[in-house]
Structure 1
Amino acid sequence: MRLQDKLDALREAFENGRFPLVPTRDQLDTMQRATQALIDGRQADQALKAGDTAPAFTLKDADGNSVSSQALLQRGPLVATFYRGVWCPYCNYDLQALERVRPEIEARGAALVAVSPQTPANSRKSQRDNKLGFPILSDPGTTVAARFGLRFALPDDLIEVYRQFGNDLARINDDPAWVLPMPARYVIGSDGVIAYAEVNPDYTRRPDPAELLPVLDRLRAGVPA
């Protein structure tokens, strides 16, 4: 099953009360209104795109080790996915789908990392629960996400809904600001230039990881993506 088919099924189950957490109509309306406002605000248009130079970054992995994008790019292309957090089931499905294609990504000489504002302890839980063989890097305050043009602040009514769900992002991220990255996926060439970019303010919509493979093939062949 394609990733988007799984996400569509998850959304349908959530919105129709066939999920462990059953939202009220008001809660659903608040969530949908916030997503639509992010879409209408066209913030995704301001995010970095293919052809832009990706900012270099160094972040800590779940074990506290520093991971440098420049060091990874010295070995080959970098696939970076921006991830909301362990609390987001859509994001976890996305990570699982990336894990399934990770061997094919690595066979093409590329590295794969996820970037999330959550604490290292929550990243360890994400890696364990989703059985990941690639690192989740902690991005405190979504500083790196902001440099990619992905950071946004949650509206007050959505913050209240998340609290009602038990998703206290101030605690999960160790940050009182209640900011998140828009879900995004990038392929960065060894020269630091972005070869592929997919940013979607609707967190229920994700590109299939198989789309990454032809991009990596073109990079390996020296053909502009």
Structure 2
Amino acid sequence: MGDLDTDLSELRESVATHVPAEIAEVLKADRASFVGVVAEKAAKPGAAMPDLALPDANGGRVSVKDGPAVVVFYRGAWCPYCNLALRAYQQEVLPELEGLGVKLIAVSPQLPDGSLSTKDLEFTVLSDVDNELGRALGITFRLAPETKPAFDTLIGDVEKINGSAEWELPYPTVLVVDGEGVIRYIDVHPDYTTRTDPADILAAVKAL
């Protein structure tokens, strides 16, 4: 069982050394702008999860309010930090959740077709089109225009991937929703290279 923090740290170093120097500088400055940021507008424990049904990759719609559930917001399948975290949650969190009768749901603003790149995941992946849910939870931000060329070079057009004119993304966030649809735990990470520890997720679920 790998340590997620260690794996994320190694990925940070790998990204810094494997992308072109000018893009690495943009990414470094971009990340630095998020370090230490507090998502003050984010929903608080005790608030109701918004009553929204989001599309999955198969054309169905799933209500995020139907708990108990762990809901993981990620930036998109193009984000290596997101992929690393989702796979860690699949290995370390999902088996215990299944034993407790709790769902694991991942949400990103990526269009359903794009989310198929996460098809090796064994839990529900939903598309928050136009960031409707993320905005309602107070966990989205607009990317700085000067970073867009670097992201376009690395991953393609984020607006096209997300089917949205707004260049907006959610902060990586984990929520635990109880059987009444109430948020009991929320952990927001403005620094997108850090993530919620699997042990913290399980502790929050067991506290329900």
Query: TM > 0.5 between the two?
Result: yes
Which structure 1 residue ranges, 4+ long, deviate > 6 Å from structure 2? Answer: none
Q: Give the secondary-structure state (helix, strand or coil) at the position aligned to 2:59.
A: coil
The 2-side partners of 1:217 and 1:40 are apart by 29
Task: Map residues 123-138 of structure 1 onto 2, 5 A cutoff.
Answer: 123-127=115-119, 131-138=120-127
What's 2:191 paired with?
Answer: 202
CA shift at 1:98, angstroms? 1.2
Partner of 1:82: 73
Instruction: Work out the CA distance in 1 between the residues paired with 2:102 and 2:159.
Output: 33
Deviation at 1:30, TM superposition (A): 2.2
Cα RMSD of the aligned pairs, angstroms, is 1.6
Distance (Å, rounded) in 1 between the aligned partners of 2:200 and 2:34: 25
2:180 pairs with 1:179:
no
Deviation of 1:211 after TM superposition, in Å, equals 1.6
Match of 2:23 among 21, 27, 30: 27
Kept in 1: contact 2:37–2:190 (CA 8 A): no
Q: Answer yes or no: is the 8 Å Cα contact 2:43–2:138 preserved in 1.
A: yes
Q: How much does 1:137 deviate?
A: 0.4
- Aligned partner of 1:45: which letter? E
Which protein is bigger by CA-based radius of gyration?
A: 1
Does the 8 Å contact 2:78/2:155 carry over to 1? Answer: no
> TM-score, with normalisation over the residues of structure 2?
0.92
Tell me how far 1:39 sits from its aligned partner.
4.5
Question: What is the SS of the residue equivalent to 2:155?
Answer: coil
Is the contact made by 2:115 and 2:127 (CA closer than 8 Å) also made in structure 1? yes
Q: How far apart are residue 29 of structure 1 and its match?
A: 2.8
Q: Render the CA deviation track for 1:79-137: whole Å, top value 9, x for unaligned.
A: 1000111110100011101111212112112111111111111111112xxx2111110
Deviations 1:49-71 (A, max 9, x none): 2233222211010001010124x
